Structure formats: C-alpha cells, structure tokens
A and B are shown apart, each in its own frame.
Chain A
Amino acid sequence: MTYTTLIIIWFALWGLLWAVYFMLDGFDLGVGMLYPFLAKDENERKLLLNSIGPFWDGNEVWLITAGGATFAAFPTTYAVMFSFFYLPFMLILLGLIFRGTAIEFMNKSEGQTWKDLWKWALAAGSFLVAFLFGVAFANIFHGLPIDEQGYHGTLISLLNSYGILGGLLFTGLFILSGSIWIGIKTDNELSERVMNFSSKMWYGVLVLAVIFLVQTYFETSLYDIYIENPIWLIDLAIAVISLLLTKVFINKKDAIKAFITHSLLIVSTTFFGIIGLYPNMLPSSIDSKHSLTVFNSASSEYTLKIMFIVAIIFVPIVIFYQIMMYKIFSGKITEKDAHY
C-alpha cells in the first residue's frame, strides 16, 4: 500500500466516522430537540428520555473517535479546524455537556424547577450541537478565508447565509431522525402522533435539501468533482432515493424502514460533501494554494499504518457490540422500562 493510498483511505475513514456520528447521534439530538414540545405529560417525557437513554453515550463516542482520528491522521487539519472554529466548537461542547448532563440528571430529583431547567438544557444543548455542526461543515464546503497569515473569519462571518442554511439542514435532518426513532420506540397514540409529525417534517427537510443543493452549486466548488467523474453522482442518487423512500415508509407507518432510509440519507448527504471536498480538507476561499489538503496535512506514513492496523482490528469489534446493544434494546419502550 503506498503512502498516497493510505492517505486516501484515511480520508474516506475520516468522512465515514463523521457520517456515522451524524447518523447515530443525529437521532438522539433530534429527540432532545423535540423533548419539550412533543410529550404531553410526565409519563411521555420519561418514554422519550428512555428511548435514547441506553444509546446516547455510545453514539457520542463516534464524535470523540472522529475527533481523535482527525488528530491522529491529519494533525494539521485538526489543529487548524478547531482553532479556526474556536467559538462555534466551544459552543458545541457546551451543548454536548448540557445535553448529556440533562439526560442523566433530569429525573434524579423531583423538583419541578429542576426538571424544567434540565428540560430546556437538553433541548437547547441538542439544538446548538446540530445547528453548529451544520454551520461548520457548510463553511468548510464553502471554503474559509485563509491566506498566508492564517484565518480571517469570526463567529459572525461563519453565520453567512450558506452557513445558516447548512445549520438548518442538519437541524431538520436530525429532528426528522429523532421523530422517526420515537415512532419506532413507542406505540399507540404517541407513536401515531409522532409519525404524523414526521410526515410534515419530511417536507421541511425536502425544501431545505433542495435549496441546499442549489445553493451549493452557486456557493461552492463541490460539484467540480461530480462533473469530472460522474460516477460519484451515485452518492447523490442514493441521497435522493433515500429521501423519497423515507416519505414512502413514513406514509406506510413503517418507522423502522423509514429510519433506515433516513439514516442512509444522512450518510450519503455527509459523503456528498466529503467527496466534493477531495483532495481538500479545509479549502481556502481566497487562494487555493493556502488550502489544507489531505496531502499537506497528513501524518507520517508510519503513523497512518499503525492507526490503520488499530482501526481494522478494533472498529469491527466496536460495531459488533454496538449492534448487539441495539438488538438487546430493540423493543418498544413501555412505562415499565421507565428507569429514569
């Protein structure tokens, strides 16, 4: 395996880790955002919380792994990406902290104020994470103002129209993911209600996705690769088909299939951006010679090899026991399961 191949494999793995993170944490962030609005009473709130209770922590580790892999495989990108996005990332971390603490602490004390505070911490935290990841990735796709002196943007400059659009798209995708997940995990009236909501939410996602695809054409150079190598359009095709199938399955009230196709939509949407970026990781919007590419930011060949060996041994093991976990807790949540 040559150094170049190794680098490309790691770029693909890098994209995959982020995609899996968005797919998995997406649904529990979505449930977090819906939490104050969807449940009618205390009992339903407990059901919602229990639907993500066993999973959220394991899902969040995919983010830590994505971050760790960026650090190990592309240290320069890691350093530049997180220091450029200093404030947004600090806000994301804040969101993650409050989201996690809220899930664990909410029902551990009985006071109403206590519960209300954690309820909003959960919703706001989940929203911050979803929205700001969208903003960050849209800005990466768009290109950042980088020249020889470094980065010239601010938090406000990240909140440009395309960035906000990306934020809304992520938020919409995750909310839909969360609502379909609740549809899987609950039954009767709550499940029915949430599937009706998913059906409406789907149109929101459709509109955002269409605007995003069109704007991407005007705001970024992502399509260049697709024009040069139309074979990659297969990813976009998967995204479109997944989106449509999701609606079909929602209408059929088949929440499990809708969840699978919607997850595929999240993964293929992420890869739409990742493929379009290549060979850049952080393109400069000022001058492409200041862009960070996979080649000028990668670790040494030796480190990439070591990390590759670690990944092919351990990632399948992780996937194995995480799937076991989803199987063990595959049933619907009932009032009996209300541990929290």
Chain B
Amino acid sequence: MMDLVTLSRIQFALTVGFHFLFVPLTLGLVILVAIMETLYVKTDNPVYKNMAKFWGKLFIINFALGVVTGITMEFQFGTNWANYSKYVGDIFGAPLAIEATVAFFLESTFLGLWIYGWDKVSKKLHAFSIWMVALGTNLSAVWIIIANGWMQHPVGYVIRNGRAELVDFMAVVLNKYAWLTFFHTVLSGYVLSSFFVLGISAYHLLRKNQLDFFKKSFQIALVFAIFSSIMVAVVGDSNGSNVAEVQPSKFAAMESIWETQEGAPMYLLQIPSWNNDGNIIEAIGIPKLTSFLAFKDPNAKVIGLNDIPKEERPPVALVFYAFRIMVGLGVYFIVMSLLGWYLNRKGKLLDSPLYLKMLLYSIPLPYLAINLGWMVAEVGRQPWIVYGLMKTVDGVSPIPISQVWMTLIGVIIFYSILIIADIYLLVKYAKKGPDFDQPVQINISTSPSIQA
C-alpha cells in the first residue's frame, strides 16, 4: 500500500505535470503573437493581423488551462504540504504572493483586453496589451522559479523560532540557481512554442494551404527556434555546472557516478541498477570528460553516490535516463532548426515533404523534453523538499490518507477530461487554419441591390 507521502508526491507531480503541459506553450507563443501583431502595426499588412488572431486563438485555449491548473498549485502547498508551508512559509510565501501581484494580474487583465478589445482600443494599445501579457507570463516564471530555486539551493535565511526565517531578501531574489533555471526553463518554453508553430505551419505547407500565411509564420517561428534551441543548450550547460557545485547528489545521479574521483571519465555505455546501489554496466570511458564538462577543469573532483548516505540518494536511474533523453532531444531540436534554416534559404521548403512531416510529428517532443527536464530537477532533489534542510517526508500535511486518495483520483479524472478537451480544440483550430476577416455581414432583406 502507498503511504501518505508517496500519495501526496504523486498528486503533486501529477498536478504540476498537467500544469506544465500548458504553461510552456504560453511562455513563447505569446511572444510570437506579440511579434506578429507588432509587424501588423508597423506594416499595416492584414496578413500579420490574421496571424496574430490565428496563433492567438491557440494561445488563449492553452492559457485558460494554464491559469486554472495553476490555482491548484498555489493552494496545494497548504492543502498537501502544510508542514513544509509552516516551516518555510516566511521565505517561500513571499515570491508566490509577489508572483500573483506583479505577474498574474498583468497577464490576466491585459489578456482580457486583448481578446475583447480588437474593436474597442487603438491598434497600438492593442499590440501593447499582448506585450503586457507576454511580460506577465514571463514574469510569473521568474517568481515561481525564484521560489523553486530556494527549495533547490536555500539562501538568505536563518533557522529561528523553529522555522526558516528570511534575513536577506535580495539573496533569495538573486539566487544564481534560480536564474539559471529560469533561463533554461523559459528558453525551453520558447523551443516548444516555436516547434508548435513550425509543426502546424508544416501541416498546412504540406497541403499547400494558405501558403503565404504559413510561410511567414514558419519563418518567424524558425528564427525563434534557432535562437532558443541553441541558447537552451548553452544555458543548460551552465546549469549543469552549477548543479555539480551546489547539489552534488543530483549531479552524481544525472551522471550515475558512484565513486568519488578526480578527473571523472564519461562512459558511453552505462546502465544504472534499479536498486539504486551502483552501475550494472560501465564501459567505454572517455577520461576526464565529466569533470571537464561539470567544472571546466579535467582534474576536478566529482563526488560519487557511495559517499552519500543511501537514504539521501535520489532515485538514480530515473534521473539518469530522464537527463539523457532530454539532452538527446535538445540536440535534435538544434539540428531540425538549422536544417529548416538551410531549406528555407535554398527555397526548398515546399519540396521537402519528409522534413515537413517530421516537423509535424515533432510537436510532442519538446513537451516530453520539458517534462523530463523537470523530472531531473525535482526527482534529482529527493529525498529533500528543501535541499539539505528539510526532507520531503517531513513536509507533508497531517491529513487522512483516504482524502488524498479521493482527490488524487479526482485530479486524474478531471484533468484528463480537460486535456482531451484542450487537445480536441487545439487540433480543430490548428487544422482549420486562419479565419480571414469575413466581409461585413449584410442583411439581405434590407439591401435589395445585393440580391440582384
């Protein structure tokens, strides 16, 4: 039977996982829509307006679910992790409250203005409002990741009155761990969004449908894809180095390193055991590569899992594989973007159905990569809820296990319904393509000349 902590963890993982299916798309898609609408304001070319409307609609469908599943997240710290909230609320609550005040109001209010304001406000104010949504969406990522960064690498606190109390707010805000994670996360959201636009554009290009519209969309997304897929890897590398420095157990799990050593090699063939106690296979080592990648020093010392007490080791195999598949997908995104750039430059895009098809079927891949990355970060931190400070088992709410079962089942059922409805609508609108402005509807009975 599963215990309270396991159940609460599953519930938390599921609710974040669901939430994280919607949010990354909103992070980047809103910027693409804002760019399209800005082009419309600058050039007055209605195709850009239609682009903003078409991609904006797909953005809205996702945004709604990002918001509603986000509320669950905020309250779950209280409902399911009450002891955690009591112990660190003095620090952790602040960024959450700031997120709501500074970011959520901005995105929600201006999104309302954007959706309903097409005929009510000037073109400039309308474009401004989508930029405000973009700012709000990305700001909310800043604050939630500052909160999460504190759990990963606690700074600026003292233990006093039986809890962690804040003593240096700026240290929490400027936490290096948080900022590296922030850039890695939002950039991965941009990759996802650009591949979303590329994939849907590819679908229509394959069908020779609205060529001008989807070529333009494709090109805007392509620039964004090249930039973000390369940058996400660059930031990811710094992120890895920082993890090696401040979270040795997570780093050791990512690389499945068991012996503490200087000049640690990287093994091309490595299979960690599911018993969390070593590698079954370890072969073809490239000397010193892991040390070099982590610390930019081939002789640096890397701490192995054997030097970490068994009960303080994260589940190694899970972290190890998630990390590798994520990195592999990251490389794939860079290759696909550069290939797109090449084909587009040579004007061969429409003659490359295989490439376009691959793009279409690649739409789910960034989702996979993002959730795997999140697993590396969060599962890799276990068994700590706050790294080195509080264990996950100590953070849980003292609630009856039956209640967690009930809500867990509820969450699975209801979130599945939402996902199905969301995908149904996204597919429907994505396939339908842009809805060009209909000429003003004319009431036939009062306009006899039209009838003739």
**CB of B425 within 8 A of chain A?**
yes
8 Å CB interface, B73-113 against A: 74-75, 77-80, 82-86, 88-94, 96-102, 104-106, 108-113
Contact of A72 with B421 in the complex, beta carbons under 8 Å: no
| Mask: chain B, 416-444; 1 = CB below 8 Å from A; 0 = not | 00100100110011000000000000000
User: Nearest chain B CB to A2's CB is how many angstroms away?
Assistant: 18
**Interface-located stretch among A97-105, A210-218, A248-256, A268-276:** A97-105
Given contacts A60-B71, A328-B121, contact A303 B94 (CB under 8 A): yes
Which among B60, B110, B121, B397 is the interface contact of A86 at CB below 8 angstroms? B397
Give the dominant DSSP class at B's interface: helix
Which among B74, B105, B108, B115 is the interface contact of A339 at CB below 8 angstroms? B115
Interface size class of B (residues with CB under 8 A): 35 or more
Contact of B115 with A53 in the complex, beta carbons under 8 Å: yes
Contact of A105 with B165 in the complex, beta carbons under 8 Å: no
Contact of B403 with A78 in the complex, beta carbons under 8 Å: no
Which among A75, A97, A302, A337 is the interface contact of B93 at CB below 8 angstroms? A75
Which residues of the partner chain B approach A64 to less than 8 Å between Cβ atoms?
Answer: 70-71, 74, 100, 104
**Interface-located stretch among B61-69, B216-224, B228-236, B288-296:** B61-69
Q: Which of B104, B403, B414 counts the most chain A CB atoms within 10 A?
A: B104
User: Nearest chain A CB to B411's CB is how many angstroms away?
Assistant: 8
User: Nearest chain A CB to B171's CB is how many angstroms away?
Assistant: 12
Contact of A90 with B85 in the complex, beta carbons under 8 Å: no
**CB of B412 within 8 A of chain A?**
no
User: Nearest chain B CB to A244's CB is how many angstroms away?
Assistant: 33
Contact of A90 with B397 in the complex, beta carbons under 8 Å: no
Given contacts A72-B94, A93-B72, A109-B428, contact A87 B64 (CB under 8 A): no
Interface size class of A (residues with CB under 8 A): 35 or more
Which residues of the partner chain A approach B75 to less than 8 Å between Cβ atoms?
Answer: 67, 82, 89, 93
How far apart are the CA atoms of A7 and B86 in the complex, in Å?
17
User: Nearest chain B CB to A57's CB is how many angstroms away?
Assistant: 4
Contact of A78 with B74 in the complex, beta carbons under 8 Å: no
How far apart are the CA atoms of A314 and B99 in the complex, in Å?
11
Contact of B116 with A339 in the complex, beta carbons under 8 Å: yes
Give the dominant DSSP class at A's interface: helix
User: Nearest chain A CB to B98's CB is how many angstroms away?
Assistant: 6
Contact of A75 with B74 in the complex, beta carbons under 8 Å: no
**CB of B166 within 8 A of chain A?**
yes
| Mask: chain A, 45-77; 1 = CB below 8 Å from B; 0 = not | 000001001110110110111011111110110
* Further pairs besides A75-B93, A78-B77, A302-B167: 12, Cβ < 8 Å: A54-B112, A57-B111, A79-B85, A80-B86, A86-B79, A93-B72, A108-B61, A109-B424, A300-B161, A321-B110, A329-B116, A329-B120
Instruction: Please report A residues at the B interface, Cβ cutoff 8 Å.
Output: 50, 53-55, 57-58, 60-61, 63-65, 67-73, 75-76, 78-83, 85-87, 89-90, 93-94, 96-98, 100-101, 103-105, 108-109, 150, 299-300, 302-303, 306-307, 310-311, 314-315, 318, 321-322, 325, 328-329, 337, 339
Q: List 29 A-B contacts (CB under 8 A).
A: A61-B105, A64-B70, A65-B100, A65-B105, A71-B74, A72-B94, A75-B90, A75-B92, A78-B78, A79-B78, A79-B89, A80-B86, A82-B75, A82-B79, A82-B82, A83-B79, A90-B407, A100-B68, A105-B64, A299-B89, A299-B90, A302-B166, A303-B165, A303-B166, A310-B97, A310-B102, A314-B98, A314-B102, A315-B101
- Nearest first, the 4 A-B pairs at minimum CB distance are A75-B89, A82-B78, A72-B93, A71-B93
